Amino acid sequence: MKTNLKYPLLSNAFNSSDIKVGISVLQSKKITMSEITKQFEKNFAKKIGSKYALMTNSGSSANLLAVSLLLNLLTKKRLKKGDEVIIPAVCWSTSLWPIVQNNLRPVFVDVEPHTMNIDIEDLKKKINKKTKAVMCIHVLGTSTNMNILMKIIKKNKLFLIEDTCESLGAKYDNKHLGTFGRFGTYSFYYSHQITSGEGGMIVCNDRGDYNLLKSMRSHGWSRDTNLHEKLSKKYKNLDNRFLFISPGYNLRPTDIQAAIAANQFKRLNNFMKIRNYNRNKIITNLKKHPDWDYQFRFVEVDKKLKPSWFGLPIIINQKFQKNKKRFLDFLQKKGIENRPIISGNFLNQPASKLYKFTKNRSGFKNSELIEKLGFFIGLHTQKIKPKQVDHLVNNLMKINKFR
């Protein structure tokens, strides 16, 4: 019998209670950012283990705020134009573009083949006197060895931004990813660990940074910052409701987004357990298949890491490389939605060539490998059914036909 089973990257992102809290905000007619957002920020900071959390309209906006603050004239600990920021070659576009948009120079490093995260050894080689910061991207619920990375950060007096948009809830050595550096950013996009459709968060531990982030998120206003009262007295000739103290954007979320994200945030631990169960189920059954012959390789997890999956990254055996596209097209036709691992090696993207980020492409062999051999499928927030496991495993194992 033919099967109509579908396996999308994500299914049933919202339950009835998520919809109810969103509708409740709409019915209140108080839609813009207000108390619901503030309460979610407090709950988020407490659970993650950070002093402050600030919600944004996306994880990309959180990255933009983090990098932009590092050059803001109101912060004492800042960068200057032309400083170098290290970033892994396997990255998302809006992890990179805030560096470029703020007139900083991105320096790309390779990734580890077994974790897909930033390669510590390559990072060490790329650090010089111009290096001032690292944009560390925690890939698909995992990380590099954070203890070693933090020693390098402290030794070289670098700023660390942790792009944790793909790894909400993950811990390294019992400490939440996103809380090691000066800033941590998170995303609540549709397919991520929790979702509000769109939405993000930035965390920090410095009160000055927090207040400046608040101002930058809202046009550069002074309102709701610790500088407002002082400036109101100084600029008595100006309307203190509209004092602008900093360059700014409009990156605010709505209370609708905050209500839905906060409701899902309560279920984060459960989501993590189910996704981990689903991942183990799929991998175990693949390895039990009678035709199993190491056709696929999976991420290796550090013993100190508690991952937070939302997708299952897979590296195919090199002998199938030339027919990878045909294989992925086959999976799509079988209802198994798949996609590249982040953006692959971003240095191969058209925009990177436009900016001529690096002339030497030979130093990124692992990033190239991930692009050429890698893809990922989703891990859902409902326990996978035996029929789904069979559908996935049987079709994945048909890779043998694509030599």
Rg of the chain on CA atoms, in Å: 22
Convert 136-166 into a string of H (helix), E (strand) and C (coil): EECHHHCCCCHHHHHHHHHHCCCEEEEECCC
Task: Tell me which residue has tokens 């559908």.
Answer: 391
Q: Degrees (nearest 5) of the Cα angle 382, 386, 389? A: 80
Closest CA to 214 of 182, 184, 248: 248
**Tokens, residue 43:** 């709950």
* CA–CA dist 112, 110 (Å, integer): 7
**CA terminus-to-terminus distance, the chain:** 27
Report yes or no: 258 and 196 within 8 Å, Cβ to Cβ.
yes
- Burial bucket for residue 239 (CB in 10 Å: 0-12, 13-18, 19+): exposed
Alpha-carbon span 77 to 181, nearest angstrom: 14
- Distance in angstroms (rounded) separating the CA atoms of residues 210 and 72: 13
| Cβ neighbours around 147 below 10 Å, total | 13
- The length of the chain is 403
The helix or strand, by DSSP H or E, that contains position 55, with its residue range, turns out to be strand 52-56
Calpha distance 195→35 (Å, rounded): 19
Instruction: In whole angstroms, give the CA distance from residue 158 to residue 131.
Output: 8
Residues annotated as catalytic are: 192
- C-alpha 307/C-alpha 274 separation (Å) is 12
